[in-house]
Structure 1
Amino acid sequence: MNKDNPNIKDDLREEYDLTTLKVRKFGRNRKSFAGHTVRLDDDVAEMFPNSEAVNEALRFLMRVTQQNQSPKR
């Protein structure tokens, strides 16, 4: 039974606490839980199945770039 309206019945169990549920907004002005949102172009996104693959590729590129930099004088 709904506490606000006792005439409405639902199947939600009482132990479920939805007050702390975070809801993601869609659209341009949405906020990311991670703090940063990066939009990939379609041709780039086709190459990566998920965010872990993108992060792995970028970390590899960072390592290669650091290894190939000449020492600063």
Structure 2
Amino acid sequence: METEYDFSQGKRGAIEPTTPGKTRITISLDDEILAWFREQVHLAGGGNYQTLINDALREYIQQQREPLAETLRRVLREELERINK
């Protein structure tokens, strides 16, 4: 082991660059949540628990957009009932 190291060419930040379209963040999750996602990856025979979390969040966002369709259906039913009276 050297007694002195030269860090003059060192760079701050992550060692590996992030993939385009992704942002590296730090997030705190409950232990049970993280354990569940890791277990799901293990049961699936491998993969990346972070990708699984990302997919779950994406699916949740998509579900939040769907109520608009339900609202439109309700309004259309109400209007059709009003017209048929």
Structure 2 length as normaliser, TM-score?
A: 0.37
Please give the TM-score of this superposition, normalised by the length of structure 1.
0.42
Which protein, 1 or 2, shows the higher relative CO under an 8 Å CA cutoff with sep ≥ 6?
2
- Relative to total residues, which structure has the larger helix share, 1 or 2? 2
